[in-house]
Structure 1
Amino acid sequence: MIISGFLLLILVLLTGPLWVYLSGQLDLKTHWSSASRESTGTAPSPQRFPEASVRVYYARSFHWRGAFGVHSWLAIKEKNGSSYQIFQVIGWRLFGNHSSVDVHWGDPARYWYGEKPILLGEISGADAEKAIPKIRDAAENYPYAWNYRVWPGPNSNTFISHLIRSAENFPFGLPPHAIGKDYPVEGSFFTKSSSNTGWQFSIYGLLGFILSSAEGLRFQILGLEFGWNPLRSGILLARGGGFWNIETSSKINKILRKKVYFEDVDHRNA
């Protein structure tokens, strides 16, 4: 009975990736070398906005991986700085005997191999000035720089989640489909949530839960998530492009309404 229930839950969670594939949201034909890396022009100009800034982006992963998850990166700009410094992990760098940690200067709002970037959140001014040294230190001392695994981690989302936690004042957690975000970096299964607004327990990103004001209550099974967020008054079911949010009654949250919508429908139209 328990096993059949577990298998049924896995099948329900896999309907998300299946929907992404069947709805034609994936580009399975374009070769990575010709996929767009053009700028969207949405990042604030450093010359026009002199204050310090920390911005976190994500975009659907390239090719078939996009049915299951996203790639994330973080950009910082010092006060009166002339450019953004971008931090990310790229697994294929290891094939060239380079660290998976990639740090470079440039435009943070570029397409990720054909997928439009989505701004997760930003802190600026004094908050960013406090966070930037902590982020740089966390990136320099990232323990998995020479270790990369798409699933369950450590991967690009593990790295960015680590930087966000290290900043301590970035109140946004990576989205539920950022597989690898809950892979433990500090060596402890019990740690702060990536949004720094609560706590989480995770067994290498395979099994665990999160309880925080930003993420609500979420459970992870094999890297897929489902849960409940009282601030959104909804039950959340993980899918490849985000969460299904089944709204609940404002008076009795346990009674479901009929309205169902995507919290993050289609990255191409975001």
Structure 2
Amino acid sequence: MRQLTVELWAAPIPILGRFADHHWIVIVSDRGINRWEVWQKQHVVDTSWGYLHRNLLPPKANVGYGPSRHVRTWVDGDARDIQHRVENSPTAYPWLNVYRFFPGPNSNTFVEWALGDVSRLTTRAPGAWYARFAGRQIR
């Protein structure tokens, strides 16, 4: 039995990479290894729901501007909380069919939403604050 882990990954955004990152979540469980993220194109793979995608890219792949980097890992309770939100996001994430690089919702909005009360993204994550700005409760 594989231990549940949830990993937060980031890579520099093209053009703005010195200042901004694209974030995604990788869930490692008995169901395999799955990368979850919002991307600027809809319905790219069979496991897409609007702009939300599961396994659009390999778990550690960058997004075209620089190397990806592991930011953090959660296990046990926090990992289960994040896993639950992420795996239910195809029916629960409020912006499945809306994408705007700025001010959001975007990839960082999704990750901030998925992390719930567990953690917050840094200032290198434009759009992470979008849900609060738009008056939506994400916690």
Q: Specify if TM > 0.5.
A: yes
Could you tell me which runs of 5 or more consecutive residues in structure 2 were left unpaired when the two chains were aligned: none
Confirm or deny: 8 A CA contact 1:85 1:105 kept in the other structure: no
Structure 1 CA distance for aligned equivalents of residues 26 and 11 of structure 2: 14
Counting only pairs closer than 5 Å after superposition, residues 90-105 of structure 1 correspond to structure 2 as 90-93=39-42, 99-104=50-55
Aligned mates of 1:121, 1:181 — CA distance in 2: 16
In structure 2, the residue matched to 1:179 is: 126
Q: Among residues 36, 50, 55, which one is paired with 2:7 in the alignment?
A: 55
From 100, 114, 139, give the equivalent of 1:163: 114
- Correspondence 1:142 to 2:89: no
Q: 1:153 is paired with a residue of what secondary structure? A: coil
Whether contact under 8 Å (2:11, 2:65) holds in the other structure is no
The answer to whether the Cα contact below 8 Å between 1:84 and 1:107 also exists between their aligned partners in 2 is no
Structure-2 residue corresponding to 1:121: 72
How far off its partner does 1:134 sit?
2.7
Query: Deviating runs (4+, > 6 A) in structure 1?
Result: none
Give the alignment's TM-score, normalised by structure 1. 0.44
Matches within 5 A, 1:1-270: 50-62=2-14, 64-78=15-29, 81=30, 83-93=32-42, 99-104=50-55, 107-165=58-116, 168=117, 170=118, 172-184=119-131, 188=135
Q: How far did residue 188 of structure 1 move?
A: 2.6
TM-score under structure 2 length normalisation: 0.79
Q: Which has the higher contact order (CA 8 A, sep 6+)?
A: 2
Which has more strand, going by share of residues?
Answer: 1
**2:95 alignment partner AA:** Y
Structure 2 vs 1, CA of residues 111 and 132 (structure 1 numbering), >3 Å: closer, same or farther?
same
